[in-house]
Each structure stands twice: as structure tokens, then as C-alpha cells.
Amino acid sequence: MSEDHKRVLEQQLWNIANTLRGKMNADEFRDYILGFIFYKYLSEKMELFANEILQQDKLTFREINPKMVEYTEYMDAIREEAIEKLGYFLKPEELFSEVAKRGLGENEDESLFDEAKTNFILEDLQKILTNIQLSTMGTESEDDFDNLFEDMDLNSTKLGKNPDDRNAIIAKVLSHLDKIDFGLEDTESDVLGDSYEYLISQFASGAGKKAGEFYTPQQVSKILALIVTTGKTKLKSAYDPTSGSGSLLLRIAKVVQDIAMFYGQEMNRTTYNLCRMNMILHGVHYRRFDIKQEDTLERPLHIGMTFEAIVSNPPFSAQWSANPIHLSDDRFSQYGRLAPSSKADFAFVQHMIHHLAENGTMAIVLPHGALFRGGAEQHIRKFLIESKNFLDAVIGLPANIFYGTSIPTCILVFKKCRENPDDVIFIDASNEYEKVKTQNVLREEHIDKIIDTYRNRTEIEKYSKRASLAEIAQNDYNLNIPRYVDTFETEVDIDIEAIANEIKAIDEHMRVTDHTIAQYCMELGISTPF
């Protein structure tokens, strides 16, 4: 599918999403529209899979019905295969298009959509969404499908005051979606996944501060992905301790040939559901991801595991318990200090380093304050640099590139086995952006410059510098980028005498002009204006 087709699909999906816009705020109707798209995806995937199985019998999945003698035999065989390969099962009558057609009822022309002509499908739809989950009970995929649709309350008054109103709007949305070809037959294409990501970004742009809870702008996620995959084409594992919608993990998958396993943890239940949907919809098999729901700092759920690539965009300067009991936790014990309770930034750093494989790379987005704040944070920075020598790079990003906040941010890169152990590369990309409306945007050339500079450790005047460990120690482990990258612009010398002569020339010109005007006024017999 071409880029043009992709853009058309994105616009179609966004237009359908707007059907619900007037009824609820962005983060609410997001859950419905993304859930319905996911249901359509599961349905079409199921039908394609079943049709392939039935090909030798010259049947299609939709042709299987209870009146057939072999109905039970067919259903049992397809169910067994589907659970093994797909992780879930849907009956022919539960397919998205079948439900959409039933809901449309007697409406033949959608442009003249009549709510009174729709069929009531809400109860059937709720049962189907529940059945998808139930089909996984007692199987390997149970955890991956558990309560995936719990945020889609079809009985919510936000959809309509009464059941008929709610049914009408749902029937309309399903009907619109049913007419869109996701192109799942093209196994090499990830257009739907990209379009799903596009929708998530659109919701993020309108969600204000809440956006940071579930989405990292693609420009930033690309930088992180390219950093942690430097020198590698395949990865054994990728991990995000604050996985959000999964955009960072999925971005890594776009820049390497293969990732054996994805891991993540997310505290917010709704966002956790969105992440699992996003994984499946991008074609990541349920056996290839392990996403958990819990507070990463307080209750980590990947204990004893290390990962080859780790990325994170944690909530900036979030509060956490900083409970002294954590000093006995292997993640924090060797530092002797905990990150302050009011700023968990370095708690996330410590957590990620604990889970970093010896041959791995981690990259984390943090607010600039994490570079220079004193107290416990300074103590942790010193330990990481002086005692461990794990810090590999400090990259300053432009302000106003994240949804919901305008503060400048940075990326810290850590490795346990550094190829360049004698210095740290500092990059000041704070002025490398393009302004688009109210948002600053990193273009491809800006991203390429950051990555090339990092990988080659190139020193560029007023942009990057390799700082020795001794220099960082002299600065008392303050990592504020202007201490290392001099961006000072020398003021142009001012020639006072030339300016004085210029002023004299202007005065003489004005005197001549005034004289000319005075002569004209005399000839006209009127007073001069001065």
C-alpha cells in the first residue's frame, strides 16, 4: 500500500473517530474507537486464518453454519488451531462485518442514516467482546487478552441517554469501519499498525497533559530506538518499564530486523490495555510480548531479568514513596541513596540499569533538572559516572516537543560495557527544530544529525563535545550541557564613530528635507508643519 493510501486510511479512521467527538472528551472516545478498530482487526485476522484452513475443503469461514452435519467438527478444529496460532477464537456470526451489517438494519444509504431503522446489537456486541476473552481462558494467551475491552462500556450514558441512542451511534461507527479495507492480506505491510499509531498520536495531541501518560512523539521514539540499536540488526529483548501505548517498543522493531521478545510494565490500566492491543495489531505474536500492569518502582514484575535494549519516557519528576525499605532492594542498594520522593527520575534510571544486560544499551528521557540537581540525585550521578562509568551520552532536546509540556528535555544514554570509556559525548540539539503551529518538531535531518554525532562521537562547534571523566568530576558531576558545549555567540563589535557619522548624515538629510517642505509651504501660502 502506498503512502497515499496510508494517508487516506488514516484520514478515514480519524473521520470515523470524530463521529463520537461531540459526545465525550478525547481520552474517552479514544478507548471506544481504538477498541472497535482492534475488534475489526481480530475479526479479519480470524477470517483469513480460518479460510486458509478451509481452503482444502473448498469452504469459507462464513459458510460454516450450525445446520451443517460437520459444524461441530469444523468449529472444534478451527478453534484449536486459532487458539494455538492466534491466541483467540471468533465464530462466523461473531465477525465484525456480520455484527456491523446486523446493526445497520434497513439503512441502505449511510448518508441518510436513520436511527429508527437500526437493529439492536449492543447486547450481542458485549457478549462477543466477552467471548473473545473467554476463548483464551486456560491457554497461553490468557494474560495477553485478559479484560482487553474493559474500557469499552457500551452501556455508558456518555454514548447516549438511552439504549436506543447508544445502539444507533455504535451501529453507525461499526458500519463506517466495516467499509474500510485494512489490507491484512498484505503480510509485508504494517499500514494498519501505522494508522493505529497515527490515531493514538492524534488523540495525544488533543489530550493535554494526559498525553504523556500513554504516548511518546514518534520523533523522540525514533531517536531512542536508533540509539539502543546502534551496531545491531537483531535483539534478544527490548524493555520499557513505563511502556504507555507501546510506541517506544514498536519503534525499536522498525529499525532492526528482529526482536525475539518484548517486555514492558505500565501502571495505568487503560494504557496497559492500549499497549497490548497495539502490540497485537502490529503483528507481534502473543508469545513474543510480556506486558505487565503495576507500579514499576514499587512492584517490579520482571525480577531477575536483564534486557539488551531498554527505553523509557517516564513521567517527569513524578512522586514515589522513596521508602527506606528500598535500600535493601538490589535495584537501589549499591548507591546508598534513594532518589527524592518528589522526583523519581533517577529511581527509574536505577531500575533500568539494574535490568540492563552487560551488552545492552539504555536510553531514557528526563527533564533537564535531572542533569544538575544536588542532594541524592548528585550522589547517584557521581556513583554512575565515577564508580561505574556507565554514562555514555547526554543529549539536549528542544523545548516544547512533548504533548502537554513545554519544558526542555534530555536523553541520557547508559552502557555497562562502553566502547569509549574515557569520555562522555554531550550533544546540544536544543536549537535544532522546526516550529509547526504551537509545537516544535524534529525533522529527519535533525534526527540524523543527533544519531550521526552520537554514533561517531563527532565534536561539532557549538553542538557537541566529548568531555573527559576528569572534566565532569571537576564540574562536581553537574551534567548541565552548557558547561560542556559552548554555544555562546560573540557579540559583533560596534563602531561608535561610524554610527555617529551615520546619525550626522541622517540629521543633515532631515534638515534639507525640512527646508524643501518649508519652501513648498511658502509658495502655497500655508504654515509649515513644524
Render 237-283 in DSSP notation, one character per residue.
Answer: -EEETT-TTSHHHHHHHHHSSEES-EEEEES-HHHHHHHHHHHHHTT
pLDDT averaged over the chain?
89
Average pLDDT over residues 427-434: 94
CATH of domain 208-483: 3.40.50.150
Tens-digit pLDDT profile for residues 274-297: 899 999 988 899 999 999 999 999
Is it the case that residue 338 has pLDDT exceeding 50? yes
d(CA 501, CA 499) in angstroms, rounded, equals 5
HSE (side-chain half, CA atoms, 13 Å) at 391? 29
104 against 369, higher pLDDT = 369
d(CA 228, CA 309) in angstroms, rounded, equals 6
Rounded percentage of the chain residues whose pLDDT exceeds 70: 91
Between 163-177, 220-234, 249-263, the lowest mean confidence (pLDDT) is in 163-177
Average pLDDT over residues 189-199: 72
Is it the case that residue 262 has pLDDT exceeding 90? yes
Q: What is the pLDDT of residue 32?
A: 86
Query: Collapsing DSSP states into helix, strand and coil, what is residue 95?
Result: coil
Average pLDDT over residues 152-160: 89
**Rg, Å, the chain Cα set:** 30
Average pLDDT over residues 449-474: 97
Whether this prediction's pTM lies above 0.75 is answered by yes
Tens-digit pLDDT profile for residues 465-480: 999 999 999 999 999 9
In the 8-state DSSP scheme, what is residue 430?
T
d(CA 369, CA 351) in angstroms, rounded, equals 19
Residue 79 CB neighbour total at 10 angstroms: 16
d(CA 221, CA 225) in angstroms, rounded, equals 6
d(CA 267, CA 265) in angstroms, rounded, equals 7
Q: Are the beta carbons of 341 and 321 closer than 8 angstroms?
A: yes
**Domain 3-203 belongs in CATH node 1.20.1260.30:** yes
d(CA 188, CA 210) in angstroms, rounded, equals 34
Are the folds of 3-203 and 208-483 the same?
no
Q: 9 falls in which pLDDT band (50, 70, 90)?
A: confident
Q: What is the pLDDT of residue 1?
A: 47
Average pLDDT over residues 343-348: 98
From the number of C-beta atoms within 10 Å of its C-beta (0-12, 13-18, 19+), residue 32 rates as buried
Average pLDDT over residues 148-157: 91
Helix (H) or strand (E) holding 293: strand 289-293
From the number of C-beta atoms within 10 Å of its C-beta (0-12, 13-18, 19+), residue 213 rates as buried
State the virtual CA torsion across 347, 485, 393, 381 in degrees, nearest 10: -30
Between 76-80, 209-213, 307-311, 380-384, the lowest mean confidence (pLDDT) is in 209-213
Q: Are the beta carbons of 394 and 463 closer than 8 angstroms?
A: no
Q: What is the pLDDT of residue 512?
A: 83
Q: Where are the domains of the chain?
A: 3-203, 208-483, 494-530
Tens-digit pLDDT profile for residues 20-31: 666 666 567 778
Average pLDDT over residues 114-136: 91
Q: What is the pLDDT of residue 429?
A: 96
Q: 490 falls in which pLDDT band (50, 70, 90)?
A: low
Between 172-176, 219-223, 339-343, the lowest mean confidence (pLDDT) is in 172-176
List, in sequence order, every beta strand (DSSP E) within 434-491.
434-436, 439-441, 464-468
d(CA 250, CA 193) in angstroms, rounded, equals 10
The three grid cell numbers given for residue 141, joined into one nine-digit string = 494467551
Task: List the alpha helices (DSSP H) in 417-495.
Answer: 444-456, 469-474
Q: What is the pLDDT of residue 359?
A: 97
β-partners of residue 415 are 361
Q: Is 400 left (phi over 0), alpha (psi -120 to 50) or beta?
A: left
Amino acid in position 83 = I
Concatenate the DSSP letters of all residues of 368-425 into one string.
Answer: THHHH--THHHHHHHIIIIIS--EEEEEEPPSS-BTTB---EEEEEEESS-S-TTEEE
Q: 439 falls in which pLDDT band (50, 70, 90)?
A: confident
Q: What is the pLDDT of residue 468?
A: 98
Q: Which of 158-172, 236-250, 394-408 has the highest mean pLDDT?
A: 236-250
d(CA 126, CA 154) in angstroms, rounded, equals 7
Q: Are the beta carbons of 343 and 352 closer than 8 angstroms?
A: no
